[in-house]
Structure formats: structure tokens, C-alpha cells
Amino acid sequence: MAAPLTADWLQRLRRRAKPESRGRVRIVPRSIYILPTRQGMLLALLLLLMLAGSINYGSNLGHLMTFLLGGLWLVTILHTWRNLLGLSIQPGEAAPVFAGQTADFTLRVLNHDGSSRYGIALGARKRPGGSVDIPADSGSELHIAVKTERRGILPIPEITIQTSFPFGLFRAWSYARLDLSCLVYPKPAARGEPPTLAIYNHSDSGDRGVGADDFIGLRGYRLGDSPRQIDWKAHARERGLMSKQFGGDRSEQVSLDWELLQGYDTEERLSLLCRFILQAEEREQSYSLRMPQEKIPTGSGPRHQQRCLSLLARHGHDDETAG
Amino acid sequence: MKQPVDFTVTPAFVTKLSLMMALALLPHVANIPVNISLYLLLLLTWRIAGLYWTRLLPGRWLLLAATLISILIVYAQYQTLLGRDAGVALLGMMLMLKVNEITKRRDIYVSVFISYFVIITQFLFSQSVLLTLYLLGVVIGLTSLLLEINRVTPPRRPYQPLISTFKITLQALPIALVLFIIFPRITQPLWNFSSEASARTGLDDRVSPGTISELIESSEVAFRVQFMQPPPPKQQRYWRGLVMWDTDGYSWYTDDKQVLRSETIKLMMIDNPVKYEIFLEPHDEAWLFALDLPLEAPPNSRLSQDFQLRYNEPVTKPINYSLHSLTRYGMTRLAPGLRRRALQLGDNVTQRQRDLVARWRADSADDRAIVDQALAFFNTEPFIYTLSPPRYPGNPVDEFLFEGMAGFCEHYATSFSQLMRIAGIPSRLVLGYQGGEYNALGDYFIVRQYHAHAWSEVWLEGRGWVRIDPTAAVAPERIEYPLRLAFGEQGAPAMFEIDGGGMVAAMMRHFTHALDSANIQWRRWVVGYSREHQFTLMRNFGLDSYSAMQWSLVTLGMVAIVLLLVGLNIVRRGRLLLSPAQQGYQRFCNKLSRIGISRRSYEGPMDFARRAARNRPDLARQIMAIVDLYIRLRYASQERDGRQLRLFARQVRQFRPRQR
């Protein structure tokens, strides 16, 4: 128990750049951390070796060259630090994704300074994003890809902005607390049919669904078709194996109900509902969704789908506000 | 954590990096054997070819084999892998092998870092200004490659990373200088590799016919001298090195087993001492040179009883020292032991030598007259001064005096000294340099190996040891110059300096003098900077009583201050580069910003002024006037119009908007 506690304590201790207007975060001097990279340490070690050699052979020019490279090493700290200083990060929208897919956060890094910034990279949750050069007085878009695992609201409590320009000897980074999150829909379950407590509306346009009531036509035999479905007469006429197809009386309105999915746990239910919604949308059916707390009336179209899916995504997350 | 920027290694980049690495190694070609240089070139060619025919690129096993072969080659050449020379060869191999496996970002760093190391080893061999500037350029070139891989978009202009790196290096320079001046110099080596093979030219501690004429072929600098007052005349510019007391009739040397008892010598000054500074090049021997006759010993050396300067260790790196010398002097007493030693002869003295000396003795009143007779003998007899004398295999002195009559300074000096000893006049041989080439640009003398010279000293009662240069007695018309000395290079041997003819030669001389003059300043302030300089400097600042701890704190403090200054400059860089008009405009914008009208980054001066005027009609007149003036100053190229600029500055100053 002690370890996470310490980590939490450290989390609170560490300085972050906080948002100002419109959710934008500006990197101020106090929020920048800087440490030598592995290459930087290697060079420092080498410089010590060079100094030892220069002392040993009493070479003044050796001293001078060692000190020049040492000076370069030190000055690089300032340049790397300066390369990050004063940039601001503007959070953008992340399109909702299904659990298991990769969420793509778009951010804009703005450079208000008169000099260009190079090799600026964003990262979240220890995963590096892309990197860009940002010319003077302009901005560049950067993407952070985060693989999602669970449905719900995927918050990015903080992102890392970092650089090792000019020579890669030091890495300067800063943690920025951004209002950044992505809605993650449940992972759709495998195909299946919703429990039929559907409202049977007569359809004038006929039905192409699968049922057992009316004969609709013939199609080629597929492995697994019941022998009772095979059109033996056609077979006798040497027209090959054909299966008879029957259509059911199918509603164009589906009513999806949480309560009807008994025998599944919460996440399975959400996955099933997600699948049904997608399926209904695919079949151009209208559907309503009834959840324990909320009911969405019948409807269809992308907006309706989005509303239903986000209700699923947020199930149990009601205390949190959406981003 | 992963690097912020991913870099893909392209063939073009590998070419650039390989060439930079080769440039870092290039000056070592002079320091390593030809066959190793050729092998290194082969490795480089292998890599460059591999860029175009990837099939040629070595696999892991081939590379391992090449590494082993390289180590074997170095071992075969030097019989060791340690020490300066073998180490450098090994480092060169490592560098060129590394060229063959640049595939990842990490390899780039390792390559650049090994190159840095190779660069620093160059200074073990040469410390000239030109080399330093060259290597500085290579360091900047190498480092700029690191800059290139830490940015995303390729630079718009290919030399842009070079310029950026150059600027950063300039910022690092003050830190380097502070550290250079105050970092304590340790005089004792931390570790020692003995038996360093060295092939430096210089005087030997044994003189036999032929030893100096070898040196005459070399125009390498032995040392440089700067006088603190008008230099002594040419006849007195004898640079004393070694004194040889003993001879076996064939060569002259000083037998170390016969200890010279240190005796106080009474020296009578006839002239005031001459003060000068010598910048000695390393010659790997433990002696120093001084104007005849040095009065004191520089640090880490001692002055022997016969006025040789013995250094505590072989001179393997350039050193500087200041000295006083007497050009005219007298001495009072020669100890009996030394007198015996200065009269001892080899077993090859012939009867005709004795006869010759007996003739002189008969004609002379005193020792001085015998010396004059001997000099007259060299002048009137057909003696020839030549750089390529015949060989005298049997009895060198005798064959030279009576048969060949052609020789170089060591022939004259050894024969003369021997004749003097036969005559009962104590004599000894002195080895050193004579003359020197004056560099008017830097006001100093360059003494080169071809100024090497040998002369005699004889003991004359009442005067002490007197320098006699028998070579100078040779009649001028019997002096043979090699062609090389007659044209181009200045500085004929010994006394007979001639000015090389022709305008080209004069221009060349002027150029080399300018370069050498820069070198001597370099030698004085940078290469020769020593513990003693450091102490003097610190004493002047009253810091000499500091402890090691305080010392480190001072060093750290100084570096921190410099770093702070550089940092301020970097942070304020954007503003520092603004012209006066731009600075005024910035102040104007800041003032408006304080009352809530901030210029947006996309707004030009005119748009901003219009918007500001709309917001604050009461200030409109002032705002428009200032911006009008600014536009005229900035865009109608009237920036240099001082009157307008002052007017603009005043208007900005007087613009004091208030919040409503």
C-alpha cells in the first residue's frame, strides 16, 4: 500500500503547468524539468576522461578543448530549456472510439516567440506522440495516440511536452494539466439479435430479415443449412443444392432495454447493447434505448447513435462531467 | 524515455558524418605510419562504397574480424597497445570501424564522441594555431550534425545548423576560458607510459663528425626568443646547450661518471645582463637552451657549474621560460681537477698535429696568441666549409686537418679543441645554436634546427672561459651553400646567413613570419600557460592563499556567473536583436497592452493602430502619429535618420495612456 501512496504524494508534489484561458496551458519557467539524456551522461563521462588525459600529458590545448566541449554541454542546458519555455498547448477534441481502439488526441502547440522551436514532442501516459518544429509566431498540430482498454471516459490528466534540441544531450520536459478526455464506447459484442420484445409493426416494403414464416426465395446451399431447408425438388431437377429462404415479420423499430438482458454482467450488457445499436443503425432501423437511469426515445441517424452510445459509455460514470 | 525526435539515418547523412570523422582524423596522418594511414583510408572507402552498393556493407562477423585485424596491425606496428602512439593508431581504427556501422541514432552519438576524443589527441603532437582553428571547425561541424538529428524538418539552408552550432559554441567560449585560466594545472603526470618512441630532431649529447650536418637538413623550429631590450649583435647570439668535456679522439661527450663538482664560480660582469624569454619546442631531452651565458635557472631546472641548463625531466611538451644572460663576462679560477679534465686527449693524436702546435707555440708569446695562430691557420689554409664533407673514416681530426680540409662546424670545433689541448690550453666543446631568423612582425627570433652549431671554449688565464668559433675563421669565398639555402629558405647555417633572393621568396617569408608571429603569441598565452602563470595571476588578484575548497568554489562561482550571463542573453535573444525603432514600437505596444488593447500576433502596425484608435478615440491622434512615424522609420528605410528616430522615441516616451 505504501508504494502507491508515495507515488500519489509525489504526484501532488510535482509541478505542472496549469490551464489559463480557454483550456490553454503555457509553459512557464518554473514548470520545466531538465536532466541529461543517456548521451549527455556519456559525453560528461568522456569529458572527464579527456580531462584526465589532458592533465596527464600536460596539454594546455587539450584542457582548452575539453573545457570548450564542457562549456557547450552546460550552455546546451539553457538552450534546451529555452526551447520549451513560453510554448502553449491548446487542447483539441478527440473523436469517441470503441474500447480497444486507439484514441487520437489532437493538440495545438503555439509558439508566440520570435524564434523558431525545434523538435517539440508531446506524450501522454509515458507514450511519446509525434514531434514537430514550430516556426516563429505560429502553431503546429500534434497527435497523441492512446490505446483504449475500457469503456468510459478516458481522461488524460496530464501530458508531457518535451524536447532535446539542440544536441540531444539534455531532455527538458514539462507536465501540463489539460482538460483532455476521450469518450470510449463499449467494445461491441459479437453479432447477435436483441431479445425480441420488439414492437411488431407491419412493414409495407417487405422484409429481408431472417425468420421462419414466409418463403422469400432460394439461395445457394451453405454449409450448416438445415436439410429441411434444402429444396430437394430443385436438386432432383439437377439444379444443384439450393436452400429455401424464409423471412420473418420484422419490426422497423427496435426497443433496446437494459432490463431485458438478464444473466449478463454490466460490461457484457453494455457490449451487447452497443452491438445492437450499431446493428440497428446498419439496418436502418429506428431504435430506442432504455437504461436504468435514463431513456432515449426512438430515433435514428448518427446523432441519435452517438447519444445512445455515449449513454452506454457513461454508464456508472455519472458523477464525472464529460469533457 | 524515448527520444523526442526520431531520426532516420539517410545515406546523405552517413556520408556527411563519415567525412567529418575523416576530417577529425586527418592531421594524424602525419603522426602515424603510412601503412596504417592507408588501412584507415581503406576502411573509410569501404563505408562510402557501401552507401551505393549495400551488398558491400560488412556484417557483424566481418566487422568483428576487421576489428581483430586492426588490433593486430597496431600491435605489430608498435609491439604494444598502450601509450600515445599506439593509442592514437588504435583510436583511428576504432573511428573508421565505427563509420562502418552507423545505422541507428545511438551510433551517430558514439561516432561523434569518439571523434571528439580523436581531436583532443591531435594536441599531443602539434599545438599550432592553424591546427587548433582547423580542429575547432571540425568540432563545430560534428556538433552541427547532432543538431540536425534533433530537429524534425530538414533545415531550409544546408549550412543553417552550422551557423547555429557556431553561435552556441561562441557562448560556450567564455566558460571554456574561465575554466582554462583557473583550473589548477597539475605538473606531475597521473600515469606514465614509458618508452615512447619518438623521432624528434634535435641535438645529441655526443658529437662526432656528421651529427650536426644531419640536423642542417631540418628547418623545424628549435625555439623562439624574444628579447626584452634591443637584441645583442649577431656575433653574440650563441645559444648554449651542452658542454662536452671528454673526448676519445673520435667524438666528444661528457662522461656522466666523472661528476662535475659544483664550485662557486666568480663571474665578472662586463656588460649588463640581457633579459629575454625562450619558447622551447619539445625535443625529448632533459636540457634547455640559453643565450651564452645564462645567469640563473628557470623553474624545474638547475644551472650546472659549466653553465648548462639541466631540466628535471625530458622536454616532451612546449615550455616557456624567462632568463638573464651575460654576453660579455670574465672568470677567475679553474680548479685543478677540471683543468686536468679539459686537457685530456684521445689516443689518436699524431705527430703532425704535435708539430703544428709546436710551431705555433714557438711563434707565440702567450696562450691567446696560439689561439690566434690556430684561427689564422683555418683562414689561410684552403679550408672549405661544406655541408657535404668527405668521410674521414680513419682518424677524423687528422684526416680533416691535413688531407680533406673540407668540413662542417663540428669538424672545425672538434679539431680546434683538440689542437688547443695539445698546446696545453684547457678547452671544451659547446653544442647549441647560432644566429636565428628575425621575425619583424612579432619582434622575436626563430631558431631552427639548421641553426645548430658547435664551437669551442678555451681557458685563458685572467679571462676565464672564452668562446672561440673556429668555423667563423674560414674565408668567406670558400663557403659552399647547398642550393636550397641559396634560394627560398632563409637562414644559412652558422655565421653565414644570406637573404634568399627573389620577390616570391620574400613574400613567402613575410607570410610564414606572420603565421609564426601568431604562433608565438599562442605559445605564450595558451600553449605555454602554466602553474607559474596561474600563481602570478592569482597573486595579482590576491587569491593565492585560497584552499582547494575555496578554489573549487571560486571556479564554480565564475562558471555560474558566465552561465547566467549567457542564459540572460539567450532568454532575451528575441528582444536584443530589435532595432531601436522596433524597441520603441514594442514599448508602445506594451503601454497599450496595459490598458487592455493587446496587439494580436497577426496584426500589422496599421491594423493595430486602427483598432486601438477605434477603441480609444481620445488617444487616436497620438496613436496614429506614432504609428505613422514608425512605419516611415521601419519600412521607408529611414532607420538611420537620427532626427526622426529621436522624435519617435520622444513621442513613445510621452505616450501615457490611462485606463478608463
Q: Do residues A164 and A305 share a domain?
A: no
Distance CA B637, CA A174 (A): 43
Q: Do residues A158 and A177 share a domain?
A: yes
Helix, coil or strand: residue A192: coil
- Closest by CA position to B286, among listed B300, B276, B274: B300
Task: Give the per-residue pLDDT at A319.
Answer: 47
Is it the case that residue B132 has pLDDT exceeding 80?
A: yes
Inspect the interface and report whether the beta carbons of A168 and B146 lie closer than 8 Å.
yes
Among the options B246, B292, B367, B469, which is catalytic? B469
Please compute the mean of the pLDDT values over residues B403-421 and round it to a whole number: 90
Which residues on B lie below 8 Å from A83 (Cβ)? none
Q: Does the residue A218 lie in any domain?
A: yes
Is it the case that residue B494 has pLDDT exceeding 50?
A: no
Which residues have CB under 8 Å from A224's CB, separation 6+? none
In sequence order, what E strands does B156-306 have?
Answer: 206-207, 221-227, 238-244, 246-247, 252-253, 267-269, 274-280, 287-288, 290-291, 301-303
Task: Give the per-residue pLDDT at A114.
Answer: 72
Distance CA B558, CA B176 (A): 11
Q: Do residues A178 and A322 share a domain?
A: no
Is it the case that residue B90 has pLDDT exceeding 70?
A: yes
Spatial contact of B168 and A75, defined as CB atoms under 8 Å apart:
yes
Spatial contact of A108 and A140, defined as CB atoms under 8 Å apart:
yes
Q: Would you call B28 a catalytic residue per the annotation?
A: no
Please compute the mean of the pLDDT values over residues B61-75 and round it to a whole number: 88
Task: Give the per-residue pLDDT at B374.
Answer: 92
Quote helix, strand, coil % in chain A, to nearest 5.
Answer: 30, 35, 35
Total of domains in chain A:
3
Three cell numbers at A306?
Answer: 452517438
Inspect the interface and report whether the beta carbons of A69 and B116 lie closer than 8 Å.
yes
Residue B116 pLDDT level (bands cut at 50, 70, 90): very high
Task: Give the per-residue pLDDT at B490.
Answer: 38
Q: Shortest Cα distance from A32 to chain B (angstroms)?
A: 14
Q: Do residues A147 and A27 share a domain?
A: yes
Give A259-268 pLDDT, tens digit per residue: 888 888 888 8
Q: Does the residue A2 lie in any domain?
A: no
Q: Shortest Cα distance from B496 to chain A (angstroms)?
A: 37
Q: Does the residue A196 lie in any domain?
A: yes
A53/B contact by beta carbon, under 8 A? yes
Which residues on B lie below 8 Å from A46 (Cβ)? 113, 116-117
Please compute the mean of the pLDDT values over residues B70-85 and round it to a whole number: 85
Q: Does the residue A3 lie in any domain?
A: no
Please compute the mean of the pLDDT values over residues B21-35 and round it to a whole number: 91
Eight-state DSSP code of residue A92:
-
Q: Does the residue A181 lie in any domain?
A: yes
A49 or B524: which leads in pLDDT:
A49
Surface of A (138-167) touching B: CB under 8 A? 162-167
Q: Would you call B453 a catalytic residue per the annotation?
A: yes
Distance CA A39, CA A322 (A): 42
Phi and psi (nearest 5°) for B241?
-120, -85
Among the options B453, B513, B516, B589, which is catalytic? B453
Distance CA B420, CA B370 (A): 8
Q: Does the residue A124 lie in any domain?
A: yes
Q: Shortest Cα distance from A136 to chain B (angstroms)?
A: 10
Please compute the mean of the pLDDT values over residues B37-65 and round it to a whole number: 83
Residue spans of chain A under pLDDT 50 = 1-6, 197-209, 248-249, 319-323
Q: Would you call B409 a catalytic residue per the annotation?
A: yes
Q: Does the residue A210 lie in any domain?
A: yes
Helix, coil or strand: residue B78: helix
In sequence order, what E strands does B487-626 have?
Answer: none
Nearest Cβ partner for B150 among A63, A112, A168? A168
Average pLDDT, chain B: 82
Interface mutation vs chain B, best among A51, A66, A75, most B CBs within 10 Å: A75
Q: Do residues A210 and A108 share a domain?
A: no
Q: Shortest Cα distance from A130 to chain B (angstroms)?
A: 8
- Which residues are paired to A25 by β-bridges? A19, A89
Q: Do residues A147 and A256 share a domain?
A: no
Q: Do residues A59 and A81 share a domain?
A: yes
Q: Do residues A134 and A224 share a domain?
A: no
Which residues on B lie below 8 Å from A121 (Cβ)? 4-5
Select from A134, A151, A185 the last residue of a domain. Answer: A185
B187 or B287: which leads in pLDDT:
B287
Q: Does the residue A1 lie in any domain?
A: no
Which residues on A lie below 8 Å from B140 (Cβ)? none
Task: Give the per-residue pLDDT at A30.
Answer: 81
Task: Give the per-residue pLDDT at B1.
Answer: 47
Inspect the interface and report whether the beta carbons of B5 and A66 lie closer than 8 Å.
no
For B522, which residue in chain A has the nearest alpha carbon?
Answer: A61
Phi and psi (nearest 5°) for A257?
-135, 125
Q: Do residues A169 and A308 share a domain?
A: no
Please compute the mean of the pLDDT values over residues B419-427 and round it to a whole number: 93
A111/B contact by beta carbon, under 8 A? no
Q: Do residues A215 and A318 share a domain?
A: no
Task: Give the residue numbers spanning the domain of A64.
Answer: 13-185
Which residues on B lie below 8 Å from A60 (Cβ)? 127, 180, 526-529
Please give the biggest Cα pair distance in chain A: 106
Average pLDDT, chain A: 80
**pTM, full prediction:** 0.69
Helix, coil or strand: residue B326: coil
Please give the biggest Cα pair distance in chain B: 122
Q: Do residues A31 and A86 share a domain?
A: yes
Spatial contact of B411 and B400, defined as CB atoms under 8 Å apart:
yes
Which residues on B lie below 8 Å from A110 (Cβ)? none
User: In CATH, what number is assigned to the domain containing residue A139?
Assistant: 2.60.40.10
Spatial contact of A290 and A255, defined as CB atoms under 8 Å apart:
yes
- Which residues are paired to B319 by β-bridges? B280
A137/B contact by beta carbon, under 8 A? yes
Task: Give the per-residue pLDDT at A173.
Answer: 92
Nearest Cβ partner for A39 among B4, B109, B164? B109
Nearest Cβ partner for B4 among A53, A65, A171? A171
Which residues on B lie below 8 Å from A70 (Cβ)? 172, 175-176, 179
Q: Do residues A232 and A281 share a domain?
A: no
